[in-house]
Chains A and B, each alone.
Chain A
């Protein structure tokens, strides 16, 4: 069961790096803009090769990133996914699969651009996270 409080999602969001710079009214706006979505164990959230995927931020649970069935990474609370596919307008190159009950907030792909423009601090945090991923990928490669 999730909690009863209307501000429960806002409370979670306030603890995530992606939204760390937002005021409480802005966090409320985020919680009204995104949809809460739950996935059961084994359920796919992103599907490799399918167009039109969305942007997800994990509130609770764990998910695997799988390419052709092989797990490449696991994601947990505060991690986000789907942004590369949305930003490039291309189908995701991996499945994202829930490893246990997974609670996310989701924003439809077509709404991402306007959202990021409205919240440049979120865009900056997202850029930082991407830079970190790129750095780590380069380290593995070298």
Chain B
């Protein structure tokens, strides 16, 4: 392969090493390179694309890329209407996924997504050492040593963008004998069969949706009711997958049950699943197939043994707002693993870091943070006092970072009288509200308890941060007088 004949990043010492060539790793290297931060990128894969080389199994994503969104396709704000393309400062690198879409859906197919990612890597000239597997990690003074199939690498900061795409199976007796979601066969194989799906999140509903034309009976079961994204801000089942739920409500041969799975056993001609209803009643199901759709885990390798604390059944590392291990500083995460950082979590919301839409922006923020930690000088734009309020409100209305990462990422402007008014860029809100600093303002877009969006300003004055929730707007435009006046008032005396 061409990638393998000229292999960049030979073993050696680099300030930053990124592991992974999925969307998280690609966005990370793009952002580091833009800032001039020297680094290496290593990937066990043979080509870019990460999990999109394999999933979703039934070929179509559940996140939109609107080929004709309200914003211009080459603009920064278009990223809000295109949740799947990686982001770039240069117009020719923007919104690449829609360029591969055939118009049959605004949810790209898996291959359209993979094509968009590959095109980004090629057109941006991103370099990755493919076929280089990270095999182990150790510390040596202030450095980390990454042992790989190509030899040893040393770095001050390591960024693991290794995805959350390894099958995870809960410890239920017999469940590990049943095939996980990743081993589901083509839908037609299930023609006329009774299928029991363990799980009620997106992957469970994705399978159920694909099997609707084929299976005789479909049961989805887990202890809690399904969390539907149309009702919940946060990670719920997307409306795209709700036809099986509607069939359940209509009594059409799909059953969505609240039950814990006690055990799964092989029988002569299929499987027996024993369940206990959350609200009472034991029930046994004799079915032809069991599919384990209980989600994924991140392949953290030996990082936990090195001191990276984990949670969520060891599926995710514990991270600070900049996605750095809380127990092993210097180890960072990018990509879908960043969903383990919840931010200040108002009304239960935690941003959109599980998907490309959100974590691509995290990578840009992390790159700036790493540049700061390495002492790379970051120029900051100055603002005139009279421009601060319109600027913050324009960001709340249009900035894809704020819209994709509601409540997590903020635009920050410092208001230090000695330094002048400066744009501090996009930062995690949790960092802003809980860290000391000079007078400053952060603006985010938040979602209230009724699902309505609105901007909120956080003003730091004399070391104290106060919250100023601004009104919503039915057209999501926060640039008018109804927003300018209260934001001016919140900043009283600081401009």
Contacts and interface: CB of A to CB of B under 8 A. Distances in A.
Given A25-B223, A49-B466, A51-B469, A2 B314 contact: yes
Interface in A19-48: 23-26, 28-29, 31-33, 35-38, 40, 43-44, 47
A15 interface: no
A110 B311 contact: no
Contact of A47 (B276, B309, B320, B344): B344
Contacts of B170: 6
B314 A43 contact: no
Contacts of B223: 25-26, 28-29, 31-32
**Majority DSSP secondary structure for residues of B touching A:** loop
Interface residues of B toward A: which range? 35 or more
Contacts of A88: none
B135 to A, nearest CB: 21
B347 A6 contact: no
B436 to A, nearest CB: 12
Contact of A50 (B279, B312, B346, B450): B346
Contact of A49 (B259, B342, B434, B467): B467
A110 B348 contact: yes
B320 A50 contact: no
Interface residues of A, number: 39
Interface stretch (A70-78, A101-109, A132-140): A101-109
30 contacts: A1-B314, A6-B170, A6-B313, A7-B171, A23-B276, A24-B276, A25-B223, A25-B260, A26-B223, A26-B278, A28-B260, A29-B223, A32-B222, A36-B311, A37-B342, A37-B345, A38-B318, A40-B320, A50-B346, A51-B467, A54-B347, A103-B311, A107-B348, A108-B234, A108-B345, A108-B349, A109-B449, A110-B347, A110-B348, A111-B232
Interface of A: 1-2, 4-8, 23-26, 28-29, 31-33, 35-38, 40, 43-44, 47, 49-54, 89, 91, 103, 106-111
Interface of B: 170-172, 222-224, 232, 234, 258-260, 276-280, 304, 309-314, 318, 320, 326, 342, 344-349, 433-434, 446, 448-450, 466-467, 469
